[in-house]
Amino acid sequence: MGYGGSRESGEGRGEGGTGYGRISQRSDYGYGGRGAESFGERESSSSMRGKGPKGYTRSDDRIKEDVCERFSDDDFLDASNIEISVDDGEVTLSGEVSDRRAKRMAEDLAEECSGVKNVQNNIRVRQETTTDQNSSTQQASGSRTESSKRASGGS
C-alpha cells in the first residue's frame, strides 16, 4: 500500500483518530452536512425553480433574447417569419408558419422561458395558394383515374 492508504477503504493517514478523519466523510455527507439520501429527497420534492430573490423580475429584453434563442436552436421550427415582442413579461408572437404544429410549438417554446407571464399567439398558418390547391387536386384525381383504369383493365 502506498503513502496515505487506500481511498476506498479509508485506511492510512488519519486512521485511529490522528486528526485527519476519513476521506469518505465528505462524499458520504456532501456539503452542508446532508447525506446523499437527503439530497435525493430534496430533488424529488417540490421544485424551487423560478423562485428568484424578492422583487426580481426578468427584463423584457432578456425574455425576448431567450425566446429568440430557443426558436433559433429548435430543429423542427422555421421561425424565419415569426416576430416576437415582449411587454411586461407578456410575449406576443405574430407572423406566419407552415402548419398548426409549428404554431403550437412556437407558443410552447415561448411559454417555457423564464419570466414569461403570458403568451399571446397571433401567428397565422400559411394557407396554400389556389394554384397549389388546384395542382394537388388534379394530381390526386389523376392518380385516382390511373389506378381505376388499371383496376378495370383499361388503357
| pLDDT given at position 69 | 98
CATH class of residue range 60-125: alpha beta
Spell out the domain ranges in the chain.
Answer: 8-42, 60-125
Mean pLDDT of the chain: 76
Nearest-angstrom CA–CA distance, 84 and 69: 11
Cβ 60 vs Cβ 87: under 8 Å: yes
d(CA 153, CA 155): 7
pLDDT, one tens digit per residue, over 57-75 is: 999 999 999 999 999 999 9
pLDDT: is 100 or 147 the higher one?
Answer: 100
Residues contacting 154, CB < 8 A, separation 6+: none
CB-CB neighbours of 77 under 10 Å = 20
Strand order in the sheet with 118-125: 82-87, 90-97, 118-125
Q: Taking the complete model, does pTM exceed 0.75, yes or no?
A: no
Is the per-residue pLDDT at 101 higher than 60? yes
Instruction: Name the one residue in this structure whose C-alpha cell is 456532501.
Output: 30
**d(C-alpha 114, C-alpha 49), whole Å:** 9
Inter-residue contact 109 to 81 (CB < 8 Å): no
Strand 82-87 with 90-97, pairing: antiparallel
User: Which neighbouring-strand residues pair with 84?
Assistant: 93
Average pLDDT on 74-83 reads: 97
